Amino acid sequence: MRFNWNGMGAIYRFEMARTRRTLLQSIVSPVISTTLYFVVFGAAMGSHMGGIDGVSYGAYIVPGLIMLSLLTQSISNASFGIYFPKFTGTIYEILSAPVSYLEILGGYVGAAASKSVLLGLIILVTARLFVDFDVAHPIWMVAFLILTSVTFSLFGFIIGIWADGFEKLQLVPLLVVTPLTFLGGSFYSIHILPPLWQKISLFNPVVYLISGFRWSFYGVSDVSVEISMGMTLLFLAACLVGVWWIFRTGYRLKA
């Protein structure tokens, strides 16, 4: 069976076109929100605070803030992308079209991940206007950026299938992902916590994402980069299994 690149490309282009139509909400708003963190915590407060692991505080929080935007936007883009066809009923046209589940997944998740990677790069460039920092391992930085975007776009796709109302689309990002990101070392190193809380923090999966991403910038991390990459790949595999089960059973896709 030939892979239907045209079918997947049509879904991908449609989703990317929606981003252009909602540029203010999709790109400008998260960039401005993250920039405020750089101004307040990086440029203003950071100049009066000591460094962490030999890195100035303003520079130290850059990877964490990029990851915060990356996670929330990846989930938001993918979940809304697949939920809207469910809401309007056009999902049945997609399911009856000559495209496989893999091609549908590639179109929606590929578009959501592309938006998130673009947003992450824009925030990275914007941060350079307020904070001085270097990227020690640029290839690994891009690898973590892409891998995290794809993984959480898959997670967002699952949330979009599961949600039966617009309020549920924001439930997991606001009540689960954002708190875990703030508690995952975005603004601090978990090594400064008491020993008990350091152990508890290791149960937070976002710690591994932020730690690995920060290592690609400064060569310092709370956990080893091998463990960070392994945990990211493990979550990716779990999301792939979840998507496979959804398509196999038709969970909330078929009446």
pLDDT digits (tens, 9 = 90+) for 128-152: 888 888 899 999 999 999 999 999 9
Asked whether residue 231 is domain-assigned, the answer is: yes
Does residue 255 sit within a domain? no
Token pair of 132, please? 């001085």
Residue 204: inside a domain = yes
The counts of H helices and E strands in the chain are 13, 0
How far, in Å, CA of 201 to CA of 20, rounded? 38
Q: Share the mean pLDDT of the chain.
A: 89
Contact 129, 210 (CB under 8 A): no
**Which DSSP symbol is given to 55?**
B
Question: What confidence tens digit (pLDDT) does each residue in 8-62 have?
Answer: 999 999 999 988 887 787 788 888 888 888 777 766 666 667 778 888 888 899 9
**183 part of a folded domain:** yes
- Split into its structural domains, the chain has a count of 1
- pLDDT above 90 as % of the chain: 53
Residue 164 lies in a domain: yes
**Residue 239 — pLDDT band, cuts 50, 70, 90?**
very high
Residue 190 falls within a domain, yes or no? yes
The sign of the dihedral angle between the CA atoms of 167, 67, 246, 114 is positive
Which is more confident, 97 or 226?
226
Quote the domain boundaries for residue 58.
5-249
| Residue 95, in any domain of the structure | yes
